[in-house]
Chains A and B, each alone.
Chain A
């Protein structure tokens, strides 16, 4: 039984989220201002916080900064602001993830699950030699298996190889042709969008929301990359 704090000044959103999260057997705490959230975290054991940014008295950004002084609880920001600069700001001050309104409840649930698993079970895992770990993705090259936030995903050989190439070089951008030549070991003449299609399938398997990927990012007009430390 994990304890989740939902902090939003909009009562309807708080109760809707409560309904969804209750079905997953989480214990819900609610707050309508940043200060309230701080108080609740001080008095209770909280495992994850969903925090709105625009709130009266103390907004989500200041509350997150204050919380990070003492706790390393996963914090997911909820906001109507969808600017890239807002996301960067939110993640830089210590939030773990970012969901824009209006959100899809299923996605919220998936992200909550993912962060809880990593916070509770995967947090302190030691890095083993044959393991490649980036964010929640754990690749065991001996067993040729991949887990995302602890859940196994099934990949085709090509997808596995592409993921491995990108994970071995985090942050580096590979063009489609480079990836093709690496994986298929052939000249990439006239291969069209083969690699791009594989990457999209791969993204659908390892990302919660494939159109807003956390790990496998598209660099438009250049290629693909895996973020070094995704959203952390």
Chain B
């Protein structure tokens, strides 16, 4: 169904149906009218000679005769044209004195006899000159139609129509009904389908829809008028040519009307139909132009300081006053006093508004000078000053509490560390005592748990510092490939023990530099790698992928989890959440939280995703160009011990010659 719903061929077919049935409707309805006139439906139909068909044919011929007569054609010739079996028409023409002017052969049997009066104001004489008359002269033409019809003339043609109508009878109604229904259906379909295409939901404009609306209406109007004009100029004769011309004009008008209806429905469906009109475009252009001018003027007014605005307003108003009061001095004086007051008010208002702007920008230090202000303004100004003080206090308190919190955690952990040192030491001493049986097992538990407590304490301090940004972070171009390789090398043994193979993917051999703090980034990678060692499925691979875009560098680490991960990735980054809900493995559950905080501290993003058993961590940081010359070392602690690198090349070549031949026996 939908396949041919809006198909082009279907639409074209419908257009043909509309045109044909439109024509059919016109003709069949016309037929019904004539049939009604003829009395086809009254059981007593008139004979052909009594029908309007016959009558109008007679009138056409009569007019022809009069025309020729007026043009001075000899009546004999006129009579000859119609007689001798050329037509079934014969006539007798009488002048104003009821004298016979000319006549053709009257047949023996006359079907009908009609006389028409004609009025002349001018008459062609026999010598070719014209005579003019004050009052109209009445001529009479008496027309006869032969019965039965003998010649194949217009009578014969209209008799065919009469015959057809008579034969069809009530069938005309059925014909008209079918035509009208078909016409209406296809017409409605075309209106609905206008603008739609099979392959898209959008309304598509065709060629005629793109013509500007007003231009289109003008075009339609002129073509239609032309067709109508053609139709009326070439008056319809009741003959073959006349009927064909009528049909041609009807079809043409139908096409024009259909095109107009379809384009209007498409435009309406598309919406904003008025925008295509040339008038609208011209109006819009002028509108935008006027708007631009208006907004420029408005901007200029806004840019004026408040006082100037007041003065300009005063100048305008007082000049109007002056004109109105015909130069009254007192009005001018009072107005000047008014100006001073207004200027004061606007100046104070401006000061307050400036303070408001500063406050909204976060400049809480800003104070308004409320001296020499009117009372209402002074109160407002003081309130503004108080707001800034209040906000500054609140801000200070917030910072203080943040600092206190970090300090608290650090202090508490220091206090925990001292007794913990004793515990670890004495457990170790106990281990050296030769304890037997269960005691040795218990000592092992104590040993393990005290070490875990130590790790927890360290991680807690680090997590607290990282999340509050209390860690020294020095961002500088860092070679990420080098960093990843260093980190993997540090974890080589642990990865081996966990039966994991690290695989590092770097896209190209060129170095990848990111803006990062090497020490912090190492801690991030270390946390991730240690996570992999603890939670990855043994005998699998850990993939570390380095990638760089135009502005970012991505480090992605993927590994297969040993246990089922029933946790949301975001939840995994929360503090103290671990992949295994039993919490049987070592670890504090702070690793990923610390990693995220540290990455964010370096202006990067840290995302986790879990796809089945695949655990994926992604670090994004800002890409930078490789430093030139090589960057100074990242560690602030040892920075003083570094020397410049300018002699690097020399040293390297020296050492190269030294080291080449070394074969130490150790």
Chain A residues engaging chain B, CB cutoff 8 angstroms? 10, 12-13, 16-17, 19-20, 54, 80-82, 84, 87-88, 101-105, 144-146, 154-157, 160-161, 164-165, 168-169, 171-173, 175-178, 182-183, 185, 189-190, 192-193, 195-197, 199-200, 217-223, 225, 227-229
The 6 closest A-B pairs by CB, nearest first: A196-B489, A220-B518, A144-B664, A221-B478, A221-B518, A16-B425
The SS class assigned to the B binding surface is helix
Q: Which residue of A lies closest to B451 (CB)?
A: A102
Question: Considering the chains assembled together, what is the distance between the CA atoms of A139 and B428 in angstroms?
Answer: 35
Question: Considering the chains assembled together, what is the distance between the CA atoms of A222 and B630 in angstroms?
Answer: 9
B655 touches A84 (CB 8 A): no
- In the bound complex, residues from chain B placing their C-beta under 8 Å from that of A144 are 662-666
Question: Considering the chains assembled together, what is the distance between the CA atoms of A176 and B479 in angstroms?
Answer: 11
Nearest CB of B to A23, in Å: 8
Question: Considering the chains assembled together, what is the distance between the CA atoms of A88 and B658 in angstroms?
Answer: 35
Chain B 586-612, CB-CB to A under 8 Å as 1, else 0, gives 000000000000000000000000000
Given A154-B666, A185-B656, A196-B490, A102 contacting B424 (CB threshold 8 A): yes
Given A84-B636, A196-B488, A12 contacting B426 (CB threshold 8 A): yes
Contact of A169 among B420, B630, B651, B662 (CB under 8 A): B651
B421 touches A101 (CB 8 A): yes
For A80, A165, A197, the residue with the greatest tally of chain B CB atoms inside 10 Å of its CB is A80
A-B contact pairs, 19 of them (CB 8 A): A12-B422, A13-B418, A16-B425, A54-B414, A80-B421, A144-B663, A144-B665, A145-B664, A146-B666, A155-B664, A173-B642, A190-B509, A193-B489, A219-B635, A220-B478, A221-B478, A222-B478, A222-B482, A222-B633
Within 8 A of A (CB), among B403-428: 413-415, 417-426, 428
B500 contacts chain A at the CB level, 8 A cutoff = no
Given A84-B472, A84-B637, A193-B485, A221 contacting B662 (CB threshold 8 A): no
For B488, B492, B516, B641, the residue with the greatest tally of chain A CB atoms inside 10 Å of its CB is B641
B418 touches A228 (CB 8 A): no
Total A-B contacts with CB atoms under 8 angstroms apart: 176
Nearest CB of B to A121, in Å: 22
B486 touches A16 (CB 8 A): no
- In the bound complex, residues from chain B placing their C-beta under 8 Å from that of A87 are 637
- In the bound complex, residues from chain A placing their C-beta under 8 Å from that of B509 are 189-190
- In the bound complex, residues from chain A placing their C-beta under 8 Å from that of B643 are 171-172
A164 touches B426 (CB 8 A): no
Question: Considering the chains assembled together, what is the distance between the CA atoms of A189 and B511 in angstroms?
Answer: 11
B480 touches A221 (CB 8 A): yes
Question: Considering the chains assembled together, what is the distance between the CA atoms of A103 and B421 in angstroms?
Answer: 6
B429 touches A13 (CB 8 A): no
A192 touches B504 (CB 8 A): yes
Q: Which residue of B lies closest to A91 (CB)?
A: B637
B662 touches A161 (CB 8 A): yes
A102 touches B421 (CB 8 A): yes
Nearest CB of B to A91, in Å: 9
Additional pairs, 7, CB under 8 Å, beyond known A176-B486, A220-B519: A19-B429, A105-B428, A144-B663, A160-B662, A176-B485, A225-B633, A228-B641
A16 touches B521 (CB 8 A): no
- In the bound complex, residues from chain B placing their C-beta under 8 Å from that of A192 are 485, 504
A13 touches B651 (CB 8 A): no
Question: Considering the chains assembled together, what is the distance between the CA atoms of A228 and B428 in angstroms?
Answer: 35
For B421, B472, B665, the residue with the greatest tally of chain A CB atoms inside 10 Å of its CB is B421
Question: Considering the chains assembled together, what is the distance between the CA atoms of A105 and B426 in angstroms?
Answer: 10
B44 contacts chain A at the CB level, 8 A cutoff = no
Question: Considering the chains assembled together, what is the distance between the CA atoms of A220 and B504 in angstroms?
Answer: 17
Question: Considering the chains assembled together, what is the distance between the CA atoms of A196 and B420 in angstroms?
Answer: 34
Contact of B522 among A20, A160, A172, A220 (CB under 8 A): A220
B631 contacts chain A at the CB level, 8 A cutoff = yes
A176 touches B482 (CB 8 A): yes
Contact of A227 among B413, B638, B655 (CB under 8 A): B638
Nearest CB of A to B267, in Å: 64
Contact of A16 among B429, B492, B630 (CB under 8 A): B429
B490 touches A222 (CB 8 A): no
Given A19-B429, A81-B414, A189-B509, A164 contacting B662 (CB threshold 8 A): yes
Nearest CB of A to B480, in Å: 7
- In the bound complex, residues from chain B placing their C-beta under 8 Å from that of A219 are 518, 633-635
Question: Considering the chains assembled together, what is the distance between the CA atoms of A10 and B479 in angstroms?
Answer: 45
- In the bound complex, residues from chain A placing their C-beta under 8 Å from that of B638 are 217, 227
- In the bound complex, residues from chain A placing their C-beta under 8 Å from that of B637 are 84, 87-88
- In the bound complex, residues from chain A placing their C-beta under 8 Å from that of B645 are 172
A220 touches B662 (CB 8 A): no
Question: Considering the chains assembled together, what is the distance between the CA atoms of A101 and B662 in angstroms?
Answer: 42
Within 8 A of A (CB), among B602-660: 630-631, 633-638, 641-643, 645, 648, 651-652, 655-656, 658-660
B255 contacts chain A at the CB level, 8 A cutoff = no
- In the bound complex, residues from chain A placing their C-beta under 8 Å from that of B461 are 82
Nearest CB of B to A83, in Å: 9
- In the bound complex, residues from chain B placing their C-beta under 8 Å from that of A190 are 509
A182 touches B414 (CB 8 A): no
B196 contacts chain A at the CB level, 8 A cutoff = no
B547 contacts chain A at the CB level, 8 A cutoff = no
Nearest CB of A to B629, in Å: 12
Given A176-B486, A219-B633, A17 contacting B425 (CB threshold 8 A): yes
Given A10-B418, A164-B659, A164-B662, A222 contacting B479 (CB threshold 8 A): yes
Q: Which residue of B lies closest to A178 (CB)?
A: B652
Question: Considering the chains assembled together, what is the distance between the CA atoms of A199 and B482 in angstroms?
Answer: 13
Nearest CB of B to A24, in Å: 13
- In the bound complex, residues from chain B placing their C-beta under 8 Å from that of A105 are 424-425, 428
Contact of A222 among B414, B422, B634, B662 (CB under 8 A): B634
A160 touches B490 (CB 8 A): no
- In the bound complex, residues from chain A placing their C-beta under 8 Å from that of B428 are 105
- In the bound complex, residues from chain B placing their C-beta under 8 Å from that of A173 are 630, 633, 642
B426 touches A182 (CB 8 A): no
Question: Considering the chains assembled together, what is the distance between the CA atoms of A176 and B482 in angstroms?
Answer: 7
Q: Which residue of B lies closest to A197 (CB)?
A: B489
A221 touches B516 (CB 8 A): yes
